[in-house]
Structure 1
Protein backbone atom coordinates (compact mmCIF):
# COMPACT_ATOMS: atom_id res chain seq x y z
CA UNK A 1 0.00 0.00 0.00
CA UNK A 2 1.27 3.49 -0.87
CA UNK A 3 1.14 6.50 1.45
CA UNK A 4 -2.07 7.63 -0.28
CA UNK A 5 -5.17 7.02 1.86
CA UNK A 6 -7.49 4.11 1.18
CA UNK A 7 -10.98 5.64 1.20
CA UNK A 8 -14.43 4.10 1.32
CA UNK A 9 -17.84 5.73 1.65
CA UNK A 10 -20.52 3.59 3.26
CA UNK A 11 -18.42 0.50 2.62
CA UNK A 12 -17.85 1.17 -1.09
CA UNK A 13 -14.81 2.45 -2.95
CA UNK A 14 -14.89 6.24 -3.00
CA UNK A 15 -15.54 7.95 -6.30
CA UNK A 16 -15.05 11.60 -7.21
CA UNK A 17 -18.81 12.04 -7.34
CA UNK A 18 -19.28 10.46 -3.90
CA UNK A 19 -16.51 12.49 -2.27
CA UNK A 20 -17.56 15.85 -3.75
CA UNK A 21 -20.34 16.59 -1.19
CA UNK A 22 -17.84 16.04 1.66
CA UNK A 23 -15.82 19.01 0.39
CA UNK A 24 -18.55 21.51 1.24
CA UNK A 25 -17.13 22.27 4.68
CA UNK A 26 -20.10 21.07 6.75
CA UNK A 27 -19.61 17.87 8.66
CA UNK A 28 -17.67 16.28 11.47
CA UNK A 29 -15.15 13.51 12.07
CA UNK A 30 -13.15 11.50 14.54
CA UNK A 31 -9.55 10.31 14.21
CA UNK A 32 -8.05 7.22 15.78
CA UNK A 33 -4.95 5.09 15.88
CA UNK A 34 -5.65 1.40 15.22
CA UNK A 35 -3.30 -1.37 16.25
CA UNK A 36 -4.09 -4.99 15.52
CA UNK A 37 -7.65 -4.06 14.59
CA UNK A 38 -8.18 -2.39 17.98
CA UNK A 39 -8.49 1.21 19.15
CA UNK A 40 -8.34 2.94 22.51
CA UNK A 41 -11.56 4.58 23.67
CA UNK A 42 -13.81 3.10 20.99
CA UNK A 43 -16.98 3.90 22.95
CA UNK A 44 -15.90 7.55 23.17
CA UNK A 45 -15.42 7.69 19.38
CA UNK A 46 -18.84 6.17 18.77
CA UNK A 47 -20.52 8.53 21.25
CA UNK A 48 -18.79 11.53 19.66
CA UNK A 49 -19.98 10.61 16.18
CA UNK A 50 -23.55 9.95 17.31
CA UNK A 51 -23.86 13.18 19.31
CA UNK A 52 -22.37 15.37 16.57
CA UNK A 53 -24.56 13.74 13.91
CA UNK A 54 -27.64 14.45 16.02
CA UNK A 55 -26.61 18.08 16.48
CA UNK A 56 -25.61 18.78 12.88
CA UNK A 57 -28.07 16.60 10.97
CA UNK A 58 -30.96 15.91 13.33
CA UNK A 59 -30.61 12.12 13.59
CA UNK A 60 -28.28 9.72 15.35
CA UNK A 61 -25.59 7.49 13.90
CA UNK A 62 -25.61 3.80 14.81
CA UNK A 63 -22.36 2.70 16.38
CA UNK A 64 -22.36 -0.71 14.75
CA UNK A 65 -22.67 0.95 11.34
CA UNK A 66 -19.53 2.95 12.09
CA UNK A 67 -17.64 -0.09 13.36
CA UNK A 68 -18.66 -2.17 10.33
CA UNK A 69 -17.45 0.50 7.92
CA UNK A 70 -14.13 0.86 9.75
CA UNK A 71 -13.61 -2.91 9.77
CA UNK A 72 -14.43 -3.10 6.06
CA UNK A 73 -12.03 -0.29 5.17
CA UNK A 74 -9.23 -1.80 7.24
CA UNK A 75 -9.72 -5.13 5.52
CA UNK A 76 -9.77 -3.48 2.10
CA UNK A 77 -6.61 -1.54 2.84
CA UNK A 78 -4.80 -4.65 4.05
CA UNK A 79 -3.84 -2.88 7.28
CA UNK A 80 -4.41 -4.00 10.86
CA UNK A 81 -2.30 -1.07 12.11
CA UNK A 82 -3.41 2.29 10.76
CA UNK A 83 -4.40 5.90 11.21
CA UNK A 84 -8.14 6.01 10.61
CA UNK A 85 -10.36 9.02 10.09
CA UNK A 86 -14.15 8.72 10.03
CA UNK A 87 -15.99 11.64 8.40
CA UNK A 88 -19.74 12.11 8.52
CA UNK A 89 -21.45 14.32 5.95
CA UNK A 90 -24.73 14.70 4.10
CA UNK A 91 -24.52 13.79 0.40
CA UNK A 92 -27.81 15.59 -0.30
CA UNK A 93 -28.60 18.61 1.85
CA UNK A 94 -31.94 18.51 3.60
CA UNK A 95 -33.55 18.00 6.99
CA UNK A 96 -34.56 14.39 6.34
CA UNK A 97 -31.64 13.31 4.17
CA UNK A 98 -29.40 10.46 5.47
CA UNK A 99 -25.74 10.92 6.22
CA UNK A 100 -22.79 9.13 4.66
CA UNK A 101 -19.84 7.66 6.55
CA UNK A 102 -16.44 8.07 4.90
CA UNK A 103 -13.48 6.09 6.27
CA UNK A 104 -9.92 6.99 5.29
CA UNK A 105 -7.10 4.59 6.19
CA UNK A 106 -3.49 5.74 6.27
CA UNK A 107 -0.28 4.30 7.73
CA UNK A 108 -0.08 4.31 11.52
CA UNK A 109 1.43 7.32 13.28
CA UNK A 110 2.60 8.35 16.73
CA UNK A 111 3.74 11.40 18.64
CA UNK A 112 7.11 12.70 17.50
CA UNK A 113 9.61 12.15 20.34
CA UNK A 114 10.89 15.04 22.41
CA UNK A 115 9.63 17.89 24.55
CA UNK A 116 7.14 20.30 22.98
CA UNK A 117 7.29 24.09 22.74
CA UNK A 118 4.01 25.99 22.39
CA UNK A 119 3.14 29.49 21.30
CA UNK A 120 -0.22 31.04 22.09
CA UNK A 121 -2.38 32.56 19.38
CA UNK A 122 -5.53 34.70 19.65
CA UNK A 123 -8.02 32.23 18.24
CA UNK A 124 -10.90 30.03 19.37
CA UNK A 125 -12.63 27.48 17.20
CA UNK A 126 -16.30 28.11 16.38
CA UNK A 127 -18.56 25.42 17.87
CA UNK A 128 -15.46 24.20 19.69
CA UNK A 129 -17.28 21.30 21.36
CA UNK A 130 -17.55 19.63 17.94
CA UNK A 131 -14.74 17.99 15.99
CA UNK A 132 -15.96 19.62 12.82
CA UNK A 133 -14.25 19.91 9.46
CA UNK A 134 -13.83 23.70 9.50
CA UNK A 135 -10.16 23.72 10.46
CA UNK A 136 -8.69 26.66 8.52
CA UNK A 137 -7.93 28.76 11.60
CA UNK A 138 -6.15 25.89 13.31
CA UNK A 139 -4.10 25.11 10.22
CA UNK A 140 -3.28 28.78 9.65
CA UNK A 141 -1.97 29.37 13.15
CA UNK A 142 -0.35 25.94 13.32
CA UNK A 143 1.71 26.75 10.25
CA UNK A 144 2.60 30.18 11.60
CA UNK A 145 4.00 28.90 14.88
CA UNK A 146 5.74 25.98 13.17
CA UNK A 147 7.58 28.47 10.95
CA UNK A 148 8.84 30.08 14.16
CA UNK A 149 10.15 26.78 15.48
CA UNK A 150 7.26 25.84 17.79
CA UNK A 151 5.58 22.44 17.93
CA UNK A 152 1.98 23.48 18.50
CA UNK A 153 -0.28 26.53 18.64
CA UNK A 154 -2.10 27.13 21.91
CA UNK A 155 -5.52 28.67 21.25
CA UNK A 156 -6.46 31.42 23.69
CA UNK A 157 -9.34 33.83 24.22
CA UNK A 158 -9.19 37.63 24.24
CA UNK A 159 -8.31 37.68 27.95
CA UNK A 160 -5.63 35.02 27.60
CA UNK A 161 -8.02 32.19 28.54
CA UNK A 162 -6.44 28.87 27.58
CA UNK A 163 -8.75 26.76 25.42
CA UNK A 164 -6.88 23.96 23.65
CA UNK A 165 -4.07 23.28 21.22
CA UNK A 166 -4.66 23.59 17.49
CA UNK A 167 -4.97 19.80 17.22
CA UNK A 168 -4.55 18.81 20.87
CA UNK A 169 -5.89 19.19 24.37
CA UNK A 170 -3.60 20.49 27.09
CA UNK A 171 -3.38 19.47 30.72
CA UNK A 172 -1.40 20.91 33.61
CA UNK A 173 0.15 19.50 36.78
CA UNK A 174 -0.53 21.17 40.11
CA UNK A 175 1.19 19.13 42.82
CA UNK A 176 -0.56 15.77 42.86
CA UNK A 177 -3.49 16.96 40.70
CA UNK A 178 -4.06 17.02 36.94
CA UNK A 179 -5.75 20.27 35.92
CA UNK A 180 -7.82 20.69 32.77
CA UNK A 181 -8.41 24.30 31.65
CA UNK A 182 -12.07 25.26 31.27
CA UNK A 183 -12.07 29.05 30.91
CA UNK A 184 -12.78 28.87 27.17
CA UNK A 185 -14.78 26.61 24.82
CA UNK A 186 -12.84 23.55 23.69
CA UNK A 187 -13.18 20.00 22.40
CA UNK A 188 -13.16 17.19 24.93
CA UNK A 189 -10.82 15.03 22.90
CA UNK A 190 -10.86 11.25 22.98
CA UNK A 191 -7.41 11.01 24.57
CA UNK A 192 -8.50 13.55 27.19
CA UNK A 193 -11.52 11.36 27.97
CA UNK A 194 -9.36 8.24 28.16
CA UNK A 195 -6.99 10.00 30.55
CA UNK A 196 -9.88 11.22 32.71
CA UNK A 197 -11.10 7.63 33.02
CA UNK A 198 -7.65 6.20 33.72
CA UNK A 199 -6.81 8.89 36.26
CA UNK A 200 -10.02 8.07 38.13
CA UNK A 201 -9.12 4.37 38.09
CA UNK A 202 -5.66 5.20 39.42
CA UNK A 203 -7.06 7.41 42.18
CA UNK A 204 -5.27 10.52 40.93
CA UNK A 205 -7.10 13.80 41.60
CA UNK A 206 -8.32 15.94 38.71
CA UNK A 207 -9.70 19.45 38.56
CA UNK A 208 -11.24 21.74 35.98
CA UNK A 209 -10.61 25.42 36.48
CA UNK A 210 -10.20 28.66 34.54
CA UNK A 211 -6.59 28.89 33.42
CA UNK A 212 -4.97 31.82 31.67
CA UNK A 213 -1.64 32.34 29.98
CA UNK A 214 -0.46 34.41 32.94
CA UNK A 215 -0.94 31.32 35.15
CA UNK A 216 1.37 29.02 33.18
CA UNK A 217 4.51 29.62 35.23
CA UNK A 218 2.80 28.64 38.47
CA UNK A 219 2.22 25.02 37.41
CA UNK A 220 4.45 22.00 37.93
CA UNK A 221 4.30 20.81 34.35
CA UNK A 222 2.04 20.46 31.33
CA UNK A 223 1.32 17.99 28.55
CA UNK A 224 -0.38 17.62 25.18
CA UNK A 225 -2.87 14.92 24.29
CA UNK A 226 -4.40 13.90 20.97
CA UNK A 227 -5.20 10.77 18.98
CA UNK A 228 -1.49 10.00 18.55
CA UNK A 229 -0.77 10.00 22.29
CA UNK A 230 0.69 12.36 24.89
CA UNK A 231 3.79 14.55 25.08
CA UNK A 232 5.43 16.74 27.71
CA UNK A 233 5.47 20.51 27.21
CA UNK A 234 8.74 22.28 28.03
CA UNK A 235 7.63 25.88 27.49
CA UNK A 236 4.70 28.09 26.57
CA UNK A 237 5.40 31.55 25.12
CA UNK A 238 8.98 31.28 26.35
CA UNK A 239 7.93 30.47 29.92
CA UNK A 240 9.76 27.27 30.94
CA UNK A 241 7.84 24.47 32.59
CA UNK A 242 9.13 21.60 34.74
CA UNK A 243 9.41 18.41 32.69
CA UNK A 244 10.44 15.78 35.23
CA UNK A 245 7.37 15.67 37.45
CA UNK A 246 6.50 12.17 38.59
CA UNK A 247 2.87 12.84 37.74
CA UNK A 248 3.79 13.92 34.20
CA UNK A 249 5.44 10.57 33.66
CA UNK A 250 2.46 8.83 35.24
CA UNK A 251 0.07 10.51 32.81
CA UNK A 252 2.01 9.10 29.88
CA UNK A 253 2.14 5.66 31.48
CA UNK A 254 -1.61 5.63 32.12
CA UNK A 255 -2.36 6.42 28.50
CA UNK A 256 0.05 3.80 27.20
CA UNK A 257 -1.48 1.16 29.48
CA UNK A 258 -5.10 2.05 28.62
CA UNK A 259 -7.00 -0.91 27.16
CA UNK A 260 -7.54 -1.43 23.44
CA UNK A 261 -11.06 -2.19 22.17
CA UNK A 262 -11.76 -4.51 19.27
CA UNK A 263 -13.45 -2.70 16.42
Structure 2
Protein backbone atom coordinates (compact mmCIF):
# COMPACT_ATOMS: atom_id res chain seq x y z
CA UNK A 1 0.00 0.00 0.00
CA UNK A 2 1.45 3.35 -0.96
CA UNK A 3 1.68 6.10 1.64
CA UNK A 4 -1.13 8.12 0.10
CA UNK A 5 -3.62 5.27 -0.12
CA UNK A 6 -6.20 4.98 2.65
CA UNK A 7 -7.34 1.59 3.97
CA UNK A 8 -10.98 0.69 3.33
CA UNK A 9 -12.18 1.74 6.78
CA UNK A 10 -10.35 5.06 6.74
CA UNK A 11 -11.60 5.77 3.21
CA UNK A 12 -15.16 5.04 4.31
CA UNK A 13 -14.90 7.42 7.25
CA UNK A 14 -13.32 10.18 5.16
CA UNK A 15 -16.11 9.82 2.59
CA UNK A 16 -18.69 9.99 5.35
CA UNK A 17 -17.19 13.13 6.85
CA UNK A 18 -16.70 14.90 3.52
CA UNK A 19 -20.05 14.05 1.91
CA UNK A 20 -22.24 17.08 1.36
CA UNK A 21 -25.02 17.43 3.92
CA UNK A 22 -28.61 16.95 2.88
CA UNK A 23 -29.57 19.82 5.15
CA UNK A 24 -27.86 22.20 7.56
CA UNK A 25 -29.87 24.34 9.96
CA UNK A 26 -29.04 26.73 12.78
CA UNK A 27 -31.82 27.23 15.31
CA UNK A 28 -34.31 25.71 12.89
CA UNK A 29 -33.43 27.83 9.85
CA UNK A 30 -31.04 27.71 6.91
CA UNK A 31 -27.99 29.61 8.18
CA UNK A 32 -26.73 32.94 6.99
CA UNK A 33 -23.05 32.97 6.07
CA UNK A 34 -22.28 35.26 9.01
CA UNK A 35 -23.72 32.68 11.43
CA UNK A 36 -21.12 30.14 10.32
CA UNK A 37 -18.08 32.24 11.18
CA UNK A 38 -18.20 31.40 14.88
CA UNK A 39 -18.59 27.62 14.51
CA UNK A 40 -15.90 27.49 11.81
CA UNK A 41 -13.32 29.64 13.57
CA UNK A 42 -13.81 29.28 17.32
CA UNK A 43 -13.28 25.55 17.85
CA UNK A 44 -15.38 26.02 20.99
CA UNK A 45 -18.41 23.74 20.95
CA UNK A 46 -19.66 20.23 21.45
CA UNK A 47 -21.85 17.74 19.62
CA UNK A 48 -23.48 14.35 19.48
CA UNK A 49 -23.81 12.02 16.47
CA UNK A 50 -26.59 9.55 15.75
CA UNK A 51 -27.99 7.30 13.06
CA UNK A 52 -31.69 7.77 12.30
CA UNK A 53 -33.78 5.01 10.75
CA UNK A 54 -37.46 5.46 10.05
CA UNK A 55 -37.42 8.66 12.09
CA UNK A 56 -36.09 6.77 15.13
CA UNK A 57 -32.78 6.68 16.96
CA UNK A 58 -31.21 4.48 19.60
CA UNK A 59 -30.52 6.11 22.95
CA UNK A 60 -32.29 9.40 22.26
CA UNK A 61 -32.46 10.33 25.95
CA UNK A 62 -28.73 9.68 26.30
CA UNK A 63 -27.97 11.95 23.34
CA UNK A 64 -30.14 14.74 24.76
CA UNK A 65 -28.69 14.32 28.25
CA UNK A 66 -25.17 14.45 26.83
CA UNK A 67 -25.86 17.74 25.08
CA UNK A 68 -27.51 19.32 28.13
CA UNK A 69 -24.81 18.21 30.57
CA UNK A 70 -21.99 19.38 28.30
CA UNK A 71 -23.65 22.77 27.74
CA UNK A 72 -23.74 23.23 31.49
CA UNK A 73 -20.09 22.23 31.89
CA UNK A 74 -18.70 24.24 28.97
CA UNK A 75 -20.98 27.27 28.91
CA UNK A 76 -22.71 27.28 32.33
CA UNK A 77 -25.95 27.41 30.35
CA UNK A 78 -29.14 25.37 30.36
CA UNK A 79 -30.02 23.61 27.11
CA UNK A 80 -33.64 22.53 26.80
CA UNK A 81 -33.78 18.88 25.62
CA UNK A 82 -37.26 19.40 24.15
CA UNK A 83 -35.93 22.27 22.03
CA UNK A 84 -33.07 20.12 20.75
CA UNK A 85 -35.54 17.38 19.90
CA UNK A 86 -37.71 19.85 17.99
CA UNK A 87 -34.69 21.09 16.04
CA UNK A 88 -33.82 17.51 15.02
CA UNK A 89 -37.40 16.76 13.98
CA UNK A 90 -37.47 19.88 11.82
CA UNK A 91 -34.09 19.16 10.20
CA UNK A 92 -34.87 15.54 9.25
CA UNK A 93 -38.30 16.28 7.75
CA UNK A 94 -38.74 14.16 4.66
CA UNK A 95 -35.51 12.26 5.41
CA UNK A 96 -36.44 9.30 7.65
CA UNK A 97 -33.10 7.50 7.18
CA UNK A 98 -30.01 9.63 7.76
CA UNK A 99 -26.97 10.45 9.87
CA UNK A 100 -27.46 13.43 12.18
CA UNK A 101 -25.03 15.57 14.10
CA UNK A 102 -26.22 18.15 16.61
CA UNK A 103 -23.67 20.84 17.47
CA UNK A 104 -23.98 23.39 20.26
CA UNK A 105 -22.08 26.69 20.29
CA UNK A 106 -22.41 29.89 22.30
CA UNK A 107 -21.53 32.94 20.20
CA UNK A 108 -24.01 34.91 22.37
CA UNK A 109 -26.94 32.72 23.37
CA UNK A 110 -26.74 28.99 22.84
CA UNK A 111 -26.81 28.07 19.15
CA UNK A 112 -28.07 24.67 17.96
CA UNK A 113 -26.76 23.48 14.61
CA UNK A 114 -28.19 20.30 13.06
CA UNK A 115 -26.44 18.65 10.13
CA UNK A 116 -28.23 15.89 8.19
CA UNK A 117 -26.20 13.55 5.97
CA UNK A 118 -26.92 10.28 4.15
CA UNK A 119 -27.02 7.27 6.50
CA UNK A 120 -23.76 5.55 7.41
CA UNK A 121 -23.04 1.84 7.79
CA UNK A 122 -20.14 0.22 9.67
CA UNK A 123 -17.27 -1.32 7.70
CA UNK A 124 -17.15 -5.10 7.53
CA UNK A 125 -13.72 -5.20 9.18
CA UNK A 126 -11.71 -6.64 10.71
CA UNK A 127 -9.85 -3.45 11.55
CA UNK A 128 -6.12 -2.93 12.02
CA UNK A 129 -5.32 -0.43 14.77
CA UNK A 130 -2.07 1.43 15.39
CA UNK A 131 -1.40 2.37 19.01
CA UNK A 132 -0.33 5.96 19.64
CA UNK A 133 0.27 8.01 22.75
CA UNK A 134 -2.39 10.68 22.84
CA UNK A 135 -4.63 11.80 25.68
CA UNK A 136 -7.68 13.74 24.52
CA UNK A 137 -8.21 16.98 26.46
CA UNK A 138 -11.40 16.75 28.54
CA UNK A 139 -11.77 13.20 27.24
CA UNK A 140 -15.20 12.73 28.83
CA UNK A 141 -16.67 15.41 26.55
CA UNK A 142 -17.61 15.06 22.88
CA UNK A 143 -16.15 18.42 21.94
CA UNK A 144 -15.23 19.81 18.54
CA UNK A 145 -11.48 20.04 19.25
CA UNK A 146 -10.57 16.85 17.39
CA UNK A 147 -7.33 17.80 15.61
CA UNK A 148 -5.25 15.29 17.53
CA UNK A 149 -7.58 12.43 16.67
CA UNK A 150 -7.65 13.36 12.98
CA UNK A 151 -3.88 13.73 12.93
CA UNK A 152 -3.25 10.30 14.44
CA UNK A 153 -5.86 8.64 12.21
CA UNK A 154 -4.09 10.04 9.16
CA UNK A 155 -0.72 8.86 10.43
CA UNK A 156 -2.15 5.40 11.11
CA UNK A 157 -3.70 5.27 7.64
CA UNK A 158 -0.37 6.23 6.05
CA UNK A 159 1.16 3.19 7.78
CA UNK A 160 -1.54 0.84 6.48
CA UNK A 161 -3.82 0.84 9.51
CA UNK A 162 -7.53 1.63 9.70
CA UNK A 163 -7.53 3.76 12.83
CA UNK A 164 -5.44 4.89 15.78
CA UNK A 165 -5.73 3.35 19.24
CA UNK A 166 -5.19 6.08 21.81
CA UNK A 167 -3.14 5.31 24.93
CA UNK A 168 -1.88 7.36 27.85
CA UNK A 169 1.69 7.85 29.06
CA UNK A 170 1.60 4.51 30.92
CA UNK A 171 0.45 2.53 27.87
CA UNK A 172 -3.11 2.25 29.17
CA UNK A 173 -5.68 1.94 26.38
CA UNK A 174 -8.29 4.70 26.23
CA UNK A 175 -10.33 4.43 22.99
CA UNK A 176 -9.76 4.66 19.25
CA UNK A 177 -9.78 8.00 17.46
CA UNK A 178 -13.50 7.63 16.68
CA UNK A 179 -14.91 4.78 18.76
CA UNK A 180 -14.90 2.91 22.03
CA UNK A 181 -13.11 -0.42 22.15
CA UNK A 182 -13.93 -3.60 24.03
CA UNK A 183 -11.75 -6.66 24.64
CA UNK A 184 -13.19 -10.16 25.07
CA UNK A 185 -11.54 -12.97 27.05
CA UNK A 186 -14.14 -15.62 26.29
CA UNK A 187 -16.22 -14.83 29.37
CA UNK A 188 -16.71 -11.07 29.54
CA UNK A 189 -16.03 -7.81 27.70
CA UNK A 190 -13.47 -5.53 29.32
CA UNK A 191 -13.97 -1.83 28.61
CA UNK A 192 -10.76 0.18 29.22
CA UNK A 193 -10.90 2.34 32.34
CA UNK A 194 -8.48 5.07 31.21
CA UNK A 195 -10.07 8.47 30.50
CA UNK A 196 -12.30 8.23 27.43
CA UNK A 197 -15.55 9.44 25.93
CA UNK A 198 -18.47 7.33 27.16
CA UNK A 199 -19.99 6.67 23.74
CA UNK A 200 -23.74 6.22 23.44
CA UNK A 201 -23.30 2.86 21.70
CA UNK A 202 -21.09 1.62 24.53
CA UNK A 203 -23.51 2.88 27.19
CA UNK A 204 -26.34 1.01 25.48
CA UNK A 205 -24.40 -2.21 24.87
CA UNK A 206 -22.52 -2.64 28.16
CA UNK A 207 -25.56 -3.43 30.36
CA UNK A 208 -26.66 -6.12 27.87
CA UNK A 209 -23.30 -7.93 27.91
CA UNK A 210 -21.16 -9.64 30.54
CA UNK A 211 -19.06 -6.51 31.09
CA UNK A 212 -16.42 -5.10 33.36
CA UNK A 213 -14.48 -1.85 33.39
CA UNK A 214 -10.78 -2.22 34.17
CA UNK A 215 -7.38 -0.87 33.16
CA UNK A 216 -6.08 -2.41 29.93
CA UNK A 217 -2.39 -1.96 29.12
CA UNK A 218 -0.87 -2.57 25.71
CA UNK A 219 1.05 -5.43 27.29
CA UNK A 220 -2.26 -7.05 28.25
CA UNK A 221 -3.59 -7.29 24.69
CA UNK A 222 -2.25 -10.80 23.90
CA UNK A 223 -4.24 -12.15 26.87
CA UNK A 224 -7.56 -11.36 25.19
CA UNK A 225 -9.29 -13.62 22.69
CA UNK A 226 -10.77 -10.88 20.51
CA UNK A 227 -11.70 -7.22 20.32
CA UNK A 228 -14.21 -4.90 18.68
CA UNK A 229 -15.05 -1.22 18.34
CA UNK A 230 -18.42 0.47 18.55
CA UNK A 231 -19.84 3.91 17.92
CA UNK A 232 -23.03 5.43 16.53
CA UNK A 233 -22.36 3.83 13.14
CA UNK A 234 -22.24 0.29 14.51
CA UNK A 235 -20.00 -2.55 15.71
CA UNK A 236 -16.87 -3.79 13.90
CA UNK A 237 -14.40 -6.54 14.83
CA UNK A 238 -10.73 -5.74 15.36
CA UNK A 239 -8.24 -8.00 13.57
CA UNK A 240 -5.03 -6.66 15.07
CA UNK A 241 -3.49 -3.98 17.24
CA UNK A 242 0.10 -3.30 16.22
CA UNK A 243 1.60 -6.82 16.11
CA UNK A 244 -1.09 -8.49 18.21
CA UNK A 245 -3.54 -10.43 16.02
CA UNK A 246 -7.09 -11.45 16.87
CA UNK A 247 -8.63 -14.27 14.82
CA UNK A 248 -12.30 -14.04 13.79
CA UNK A 249 -14.61 -14.67 16.76
CA UNK A 250 -18.09 -15.52 15.49
CA UNK A 251 -19.32 -16.24 19.03
CA UNK A 252 -18.44 -12.72 20.16
CA UNK A 253 -19.94 -11.10 17.08
CA UNK A 254 -23.16 -13.13 17.50
CA UNK A 255 -23.35 -12.03 21.14
CA UNK A 256 -22.82 -8.39 20.16
CA UNK A 257 -25.38 -8.60 17.34
CA UNK A 258 -27.98 -10.08 19.69
CA UNK A 259 -27.33 -7.36 22.26
CA UNK A 260 -27.52 -4.61 19.65
CA UNK A 261 -30.77 -6.04 18.29
CA UNK A 262 -32.25 -5.74 21.77
CA UNK A 263 -31.67 -1.97 21.95
CA UNK A 264 -34.94 -0.16 21.23
CA UNK A 265 -35.33 2.59 18.66
CA UNK A 266 -36.83 5.80 20.09
CA UNK A 267 -39.18 7.97 18.09
CA UNK A 268 -37.74 11.45 17.69
TM-score normalised by L of structure 1 = 0.91
Distance (whole Å) between structure 2 residues aligned to residue 249 and residue 153 of structure 1? 25
Cα offset, 1:5, TM superposition: 4.1
Cα offset, 1:253, TM superposition: 2.8
> What secondary structure does 1:39 align onto?
strand
**Pair 1:35-2:58 in alignment:** no
> Which residue pairs with 2:172 in the alignment?
161
> Which residue pairs with 1:152 in the alignment?
163
> Which residue pairs with 2:74 in the alignment?
56
**Pair 1:116-2:127 in alignment:** yes
Distance (whole Å) between structure 2 residues aligned to residue 252 and residue 150 of structure 1? 25
Deviation per CA, 1:50-76, whole angstroms, max 9, x where unpaired?
11000001122111111100000011x
**Pair 1:83-2:99 in alignment:** yes
Contact 2:21–2:115 (CA under 8 A) maintained in structure 1: no
The CA RMSD measured in Å over matched residues stands at: 1.3
Contact 2:125–2:239 (CA under 8 A) maintained in structure 1: no
Deviation per CA, 1:183-214, whole angstroms, max 9, x where unpaired?
x2100001001102333xxxxx2111110111
Distance (whole Å) between structure 1 residues aligned to residue 112 and residue 21 of structure 2? 19
> Which residue pairs with 2:33 in the alignment?
16
Contact 1:173–1:248 (CA under 8 A) maintained in structure 2: no
> What secondary structure does 1:13 align onto?
coil
Contact 2:128–2:161 (CA under 8 A) maintained in structure 1: yes
Distance (whole Å) between structure 2 residues aligned to residue 196 and residue 114 of structure 1? 21
> Which residue pairs with 2:195 in the alignment?
185
> What secondary structure does 1:130 align onto?
coil
Distance (whole Å) between structure 2 residues aligned to residue 154 and residue 252 of structure 1? 23
Cα offset, 1:245, TM superposition: 5.0
Contact 2:125–2:238 (CA under 8 A) maintained in structure 1: no
> What secondary structure does 1:108 align onto?
coil
> What secondary structure does 2:145 align onto?
coil
Counterpart among 5, 8, 23 of residue 6 in structure 1: 23
Distance (whole Å) between structure 1 residues aligned to residue 251 and residue 159 of structure 2? 30
Deviation per CA, 1:168-189, whole angstroms, max 9, x where unpaired?
000011221111010x210000
Where does the alignment leave 5 or more consecutive residues of structure 1 unmatched?
93-97, 200-204
Where does the alignment leave 5 or more consecutive residues of structure 2 unmatched?
1-18
Cα offset, 1:6, TM superposition: 1.1
**Pair 1:107-2:118 in alignment:** yes
Distance (whole Å) between structure 2 residues aligned to residue 110 and residue 87 of structure 1? 21
Contact 2:46–2:103 (CA under 8 A) maintained in structure 1: yes
Aligned residues: 249
